Amino acid sequence: MSETRVKEPDDMSMTAALPPGVTTVDAASAKVLSILQRRGIDPARAGLTDDRADDPAEYQAEVYWMAWRNSLRRAGLSDYLRYRLSDLGQEEREFVKDYIDQHIEVRQKQREQHKLHPDQRQHIRPLVLNAILAGTVGAGKTVTAVAAARYAVERGLMARLVPHTLYLSWLRPNGAPTGMTATQVIEFYERCDVLVLDEVAGQMDGYATNFVRTCTYDLINARVNSNRPTLFTTNLSSEQIIEVLGEALYSRIGTRAEVLEMTGDDRRMPKTWGVRRTGSGMER
């Protein structure tokens, strides 16, 4: 069996084998292989029953789980894969569960509408589109968002996470992950059912550049226009978001949004230290 190494966006270290008997790949086949790889599926085993569930729903669940897992890996948050709703406090758990449940219900109603004649269909959209987890450093915002997204995946939605600054870095010239273009990166995060945009405007001092504002606005605006839910985590207040990203972006982030403010001691419990100068040198 001839093999070729293919870098794919969901798992950049994946080695994919061509299906048995295939030694060359035409344009159409290459596109199919690319789709399989983006979904975390080994093309050489895609047709085997021990690699793919016979039940379509089970197969979809496996694809969504791999997409979520690989999303955390790309973000450098593989350790967060273990978090689920049961790890959250009651307030956080109820907030994000209600948020995701609402979107599950809307999705089910939309499917029912699609069974009707176009003239009979009603436009159904969620009352709360975006969720904003805002608070101090180490308050557990990312953990809460990860647990919410995992719950969404378990309920049958495609979820992905990307830190804001990492997403922007991928859109710069030659900055996209191996095997992807900037356009593919944009589509990757615009089109998933649930997106966690982590640490919005993190590590940005003062006014953001036009590049940052434009790329961020395009992502959020596309998701708002298609009624796709986004969970934002940030250490900044709404006033600071306006200062850094501008009024237009603040308006899109806050569109039909609910806010969970999370404060408290830094859960990472960082050690403190101090050094003071004396006339003869430095003392601890």
Q: 43-60 as b/e, with b when 16 or more CB fall inside 10 Å?
A: bbbeeeeeebeeeeeeee
- As given in the structure block, the two tokens for residue 7 are 């870098």
Backbone angles phi, psi at 133, to 5 degrees: -100, 105
Question: Are the C-beta atoms of residues 67 and 160 closer than 8 Å to each other?
Answer: yes
Strand blocks (E) in the chain: 130-135, 159-163, 194-198, 230-234, 257-262, 276-278, 281-283
pLDDT of residue 34: 75
DSSP state of 120: G
SS3 (DSSP) at 159: strand
Residue type for position 55: D
pLDDT of residue 15: 37
pLDDT of residue 3: 46
Q: Which residues contact 170 (CB under 8 A, 6 or more apart)?
A: 176, 177, 180, 182, 185
**Torsion from C-alpha of 231, 266, 270, 284, nearest 10 degrees:** 140
pTM of structure: 0.76
Which sequence spans correspond to the domains of the chain?
A: 90-262
Q: How far apart, in whole angstroms, are the C-alpha atoms of residue 227 and residue 248?
A: 18
- Per-residue pLDDT of the chain (284 residues), as tens digits, is 444 444 444 444 343 445 455 455 566 667 777 777 776 666 665 554 445 556 788 889 999 999 999 999 999 999 999 999 999 999 999 999 999 999 999 998 888 888 888 888 888 889 999 999 999 998 999 999 999 999 999 999 999 999 999 999 999 999 999 889 999 999 999 999 999 999 999 888 777 899 999 999 999 999 999 999 999 999 999 999 999 999 999 999 998 999 999 987 666 656 656 665 555 554 54
pLDDT of residue 96: 97
pLDDT of residue 29: 67
pLDDT of residue 100: 98
CATH architecture of the domain formed by 90-262: 3-Layer(aba) Sandwich (3.40)
